[in-house]
């Protein structure tokens, strides 16, 4: 199988990156944020909980959490042990409780209890960095953003979109390749692709929908049947 040249021109790189995004869109038509939420605050809290934890596990604890604490004021006024007990299964529950209560207090003090829709206001909240802010902006407010998590960064490098390892630099590099209105969706698609097919240690290259466009093809299993057996299904949709 022919592969893209590692010395491709900037224009060729842009065209290839956008072609990859189009193929991933066809491969994952149901791509979306895999955290369950109904409001921007619920998504913000769920994203804080997702650090070092799977989305599936977070979705198991948030129904009780969201029912018990329906707004920022409720989180701010809560006994920390109440929150800790509910979110314990997500790990690092004391630190996460501190972040949730800290951001809730700032929301009450500065934003009338509402989650702001601007990056600069979100990143100053406790426990909220650019990744979390872009998740909230993209999925709760419809503001395009690139969410550079472990999967996104790994795939961006494996696809030859960038050699950077710093998340902010990866975000900037990919932002120059992909159309702005596609930033949120390409984030979802890369994360899903990284979880289901393009694994860190041994990707399922033979079952990859973008194999022909990937300069790293061959780093993993290329036999179609063996690769197909490696592919992980997505989570059930409610």
| φ, ψ of residue 27 in degrees (nearest 5) | -75, -30
**Set 98, 131, 166, 169: catalytic member:** 131
List the structure tokens of 58.
């977070």
Q: Answer for the pair 155, 220: CB distance below 8 angstroms, yes or no.
A: no
The residues, ordered by sequence, that sit 6+ positions from 64 with a Cβ below 8 Å of its Cβ are 86
CB 23 within 8 A of CB 198: no
C-alpha distance from residue 167 to each of 77, 105, 120, 222 (Å): 34, 28, 17, 29
131 assigned to active site: yes
Tell me, yes or no, if 149 is annotated catalytic: yes
Q: Please list the helix, strand and coil fractions of the chain in percent, rounded to the nearest 5, in that order.
A: 60, 0, 40
User: Given 71, 79, 149, 223, which residue is catalytic?
Assistant: 149
107, with CB counted inside 10 A (0-12, 13-18, 19+), is: buried
Measured CA to CA in angstroms, residue 2 lies from 13, 76, 116, 235 at distances of 16, 57, 47, 33
The residues carrying an active-site annotation are: 131, 149
């Amino acid at each position: 199988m022919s592969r893209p040249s590692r010395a491709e021109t900037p224009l060729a790189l842009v065209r290839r990156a956008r072609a990859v995004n189009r193929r991933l869109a066809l491969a994952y038509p149901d791509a979306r944020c895999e955290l369950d939420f109904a409001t921007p605050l619920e998504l913000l809290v769920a994203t804080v909980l997702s650090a070092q934890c799977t989305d599936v596990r977070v979705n198991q604890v948030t129904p009780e959490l969201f029912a018990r604490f329906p707004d920022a004021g409720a989180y701010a006024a809560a006994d920390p042990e109440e929150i800790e007990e509910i979110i314990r299964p997500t790990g690092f529950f004391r630190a996460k409780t501190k972040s949730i209560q800290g951001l809730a207090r700032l929301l009450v003090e500065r934003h009338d209890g509402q989650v702001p829709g601007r990056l600069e206001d979100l990143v100053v909240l406790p426990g909220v960095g650019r990744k979390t802010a872009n998740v909230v902006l993209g999925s709760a407010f419809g503001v395009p953003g690139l969410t550079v998590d472990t999967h996104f960064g790994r795939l961006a490098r494996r696809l030859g979109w960038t050699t950077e390892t710093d998340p902010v630099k990866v975000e900037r590099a990919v932002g120059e390749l992909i159309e702005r209105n596609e930033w949120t969706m390409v984030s979802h698609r890369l994360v899903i692709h990284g979880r289901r097919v393009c694994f860190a240690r041994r990707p399922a290259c033979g079952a990859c929908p973008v194999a022909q466009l990937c300069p790293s093809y061959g780093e993993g299993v290329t036999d179609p049947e063996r690769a197909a057996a490696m592919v992980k299904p997505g989570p059930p949709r409610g």
